Amino acid sequence: MSLSEGTSSTKDLFDTISADRYAQKHSSYFEVYDRYLDKFRGKRPTVVEIGVQHGGSLLIWERFFDGDVDIVGLDILADCRKFAGGNVRIFIGDQSDPAFLDDVIAAVGQADIIIDDGSHIPYHQIKTFEVLFYKLLKDGGVYICEDCHTSYWPRYGGGLRKKGTFIEYAKRLCDQQNAWSSESRNLVVDAATRSIKSIAFYYSIVVFEKAAVEEPQLVEAGSAKLDLESAFKASGLARLILPLKRSATVQRLVRTNPVLWRLMRRFLNANQG
């Protein structure tokens, strides 16, 4: 993707981290950062990063936004306090502790960008998302949960398609995005439906964009329409076939049964001019 003119990519900045700091990233992450964070340049965003550790990524965000940024770092290690100063605040606590997260929210107010690079434990990622996405992230903001490959690692409580991992949780949120059109009692409109604008899956990263989402409406334009029943009307059995064609039960059977679908196609081919 193209960045703002005259600016550095996150990979460029990663490569210049000084010897007194350290950071470790998967090579595919940088394109994701650039894609979603570039739009915040020049707007003095508030960036909240869960997982400070050696402090290297704090430098990336500081330099990416050319100092025009407020950075909040969360970590369980008290030694990370040494990275505080200037436009960087550090809070020490456990990301799986809702009380700690509520204290952070009370102190910070709202954030434009949240990056979860913390414990990488799936249930921690879920708990953190459920608090910070809804309570801390602004509409128009971006939530990045990275190192989601741990959802597949048994030593982190993960496994392929295992319930309770962040990847499976994020998949379910895709369902919630589409709850407006659900005909199931088990899928109803909720806070996720009304606030998740988009979900994007990359290698080991899930990105959420937040917005006030309203129920989509079906809109129309123009006036000339094809007669979608012309082939049925052309049949000598029109009086029998048209009521069946208009039956919701018959429509469902035809759509879900490949044999009936092929028979319907043959009928149309035989009766279309």
| 164: Cβ contacts below 8 Å, ≥ 6 apart | 122, 123, 126, 157
* pLDDT tens, the chain, 273 aa long: 567 665 789 999 999 998 999 999 999 999 999 999 999 999 999 999 999 999 999 999 999 999 999 999 999 999 999 999 999 999 999 999 999 999 999 999 999 999 999 999 999 999 999 999 999 999 999 999 999 999 999 999 999 999 999 999 999 999 999 999 999 999 999 999 999 999 999 999 999 999 999 999 999 999 999 888 888 888 877 888 889 889 999 999 999 999 999 988 888 888 876
Catalytic positions, written as ranges: 120
According to CATH, the topology of domain 10-210 is Rossmann fold (3.40.50)
- Taking CB atoms within 8 Å and a gap of at least 24, the contacts of 10-13 are 10/34, 10/37, 10/60, 10/64, 13/59, 13/60, 13/63, 13/64
Question: Where do the structural domains in the chain lie, given as residue ranges?
Answer: 10-210, 230-271
